[in-house]
Amino acid sequence: MADLVDDMDFPLPEAPTHSGNSTEGFNFGQQEFGGMRVVKDASQFKKWICLYPLYFDKSQSLENGRRVPLSLAVDSPHGKQLSVAAKEAGFNVCYEPHKTHPADFFNPGRVRVQLRQEANGGLIRRDIQSKKQLLKIVAEKMSMVDVPREKEPCLQDLIDSGALPALPGMSPSLAGNTDMAADVEASSSKPSGSGTVTAKASKKAGKSKKKGKAKTIV
């Protein structure tokens, strides 16, 4: 059941060829660590293995989501750190900065790792044949990676990114949709019939606006 969480969303990919320890890096926000690609359709990376910072968190128990032995876990792991660790372990990676584990909402970041070649199913690294082995080798790299942590999201950030849905009855302004808030306020002085139409139209506009944010940075 735990593995079903891994594939709840689609990834953001980067696919360099494997040549031992790679020296290529990432672009996180405005800080550049190497090459990056923006991908609109990342469904081709759906089969890659998903890793979350939670899996390596020393403060969490196995029951709460940690996947590696306590001896390999680290303090306060984060998405950037995980993506770089997987890269330095010699794998092709997809970094999704706005994806979160449902049990770890306020620690964003998910990394997809390519374990096998797409063409022939051959292993990227012959000595890593399973997810358990992948977790171990990435955990060993985690403690050696030193990259800055991104700002932790607030509730509004999670709603805006789509990681956390706006709750029924939540005001438009709190849900981050100021355009809809203005439309609803303007329609309140009109007859009930036109107000209903305006509210429905603004809801559709709000949905379209959120869809426009769904971009992938790798």
Same domain, 99 and 7: yes
The confidence band for 157, taking pLDDT boundaries of 50, 70 and 90, is: low
Q: Is the pLDDT of residue 126 over 60?
A: yes
Q: Which of 14-18, 50-54, 166-170 has the least mean pLDDT? A: 14-18
pLDDT of residue 48: 95
Nearest residue to 73 via CA among 132, 150, 143: 143
Once rounded to an integer, what is the mean pLDDT over residues 169-194? 47
Is 150 inside any structural domain?
no
Q: Which of 142, 177, 200 is the last residue of a domain?
A: 142
In a shared domain, residues 123 and 181: no
The verdict on 77 and 19 lying in the same domain is yes
Same domain assignment for residues 122 and 191: no
Q: Does residue 138 carry a pLDDT above 80? A: yes
Let me know if residue 151 belongs to a domain.
no
23-39 residue pLDDT tens: 333 333 333 344 556 66
How much is the pLDDT for 152?
A: 65
Whole domain around residue 63: which residue ranges? Answer: 2-142
pLDDT tens sequence across 32-91: 344 556 666 667 788 999 999 999 999 999 999 999 999 999 999 999 999 999 999 999
Both 116 and 10 in a single domain? yes
β-pairing, 27-28 with 110-113? Answer: unpaired
For residues 173 and 111, membership in a common domain is answered with no
Q: In this structure, are 7 and 79 located in the same domain?
A: yes
3-state secondary structure the chain: CHHHHHHCCCCCCCCCCCCCCCCCCCEECCEECCCCCEECCCHHHCCCEEECHHHHECCCCCCCCCCCCCCCCECCCCHHHHHHHHHHCCCCEEEECCCCCCCCCCCCCEEEECCECCCCCCECCCCCCCHHHHHHHHHHHHCCCCCCCCCCCCHHHHHHHCCCCCCCCCCCCCCCCHHHHHHHHHHCCCCHHHHHHHHHHHHHHHHHHHHCCCCEEC
Q: Of the ranges 39-53, 91-105, 116-130, which one carries the lowest mean pLDDT score?
A: 39-53
Give the residue from 167, 154, 26, 170 showing the smallest Cα distance to 100.
154
129 and 79 fall within a common domain: yes
Is the pLDDT assigned to residue 176 strictly greater than 90? no
CB 209 within 8 A of CB 177: yes
Q: Domain tally for the chain?
A: 2
Quick check: is 117 in a domain? yes
- Which of the residue ranges 22-26, 157-161, 206-210 would you say has the lowest mean pLDDT? 22-26
Mean pLDDT on 128-156: 89
- What pTM was computed for the model? 0.60
Across 120-146, average pLDDT: 96
pLDDT at residue 51 in the model: 98
**Same domain, yes or no, for 127 and 24?**
yes
Asked if 124 and 173 sit in the same domain, the reply is no
State the chain's mean pLDDT as an integer: 72
Residue 137 shares a structural domain with residue 172:
no
